[in-house]
Amino acid sequence: LRDFLLVYNRMTELCFRHCVCNLNYRLLTGREESCLDSCAARLVRANHRLMGAYVGLVPALLQRRAAEHGTAAGPSGLPA
């Protein structure tokens, strides 16, 4: 949860700094809003790709760690 919140906060700050130029108005302009939408969508897609790669690598990492520690890993990649 902590990591998720850190990523969310970084994404929010990055997109805000990139897209919001004028703080004199309470509401976003149409240009700012579309910029924020596309910025957030790009970062969410990138995060999904990274998580997909991470999920694919976890079983191999767990098996390697189990082999290093001399325990047998089960089919799920977790120690038996």
75 pLDDT more than 70: no
State the pLDDT at residue 15: 96
Per-residue model confidence as pLDDT tens digits over 3-57? 878 988 999 999 999 999 989 989 999 999 999 999 999 999 998 998 888 888 8
**Which CATH number goes with the domain that contains 6?**
1.10.287.810
User: Which residue type does 48 have?
Assistant: H
In a domain, residue 23? The reply is yes
CA–CA gap between residue 27 and residue 17 (Å, rounded): 16
Owning domain of residue 59: 1-68
Backbone angles phi, psi at 22, to 5 degrees: -125, 120
Token pair in block for residue 79: 């120690």
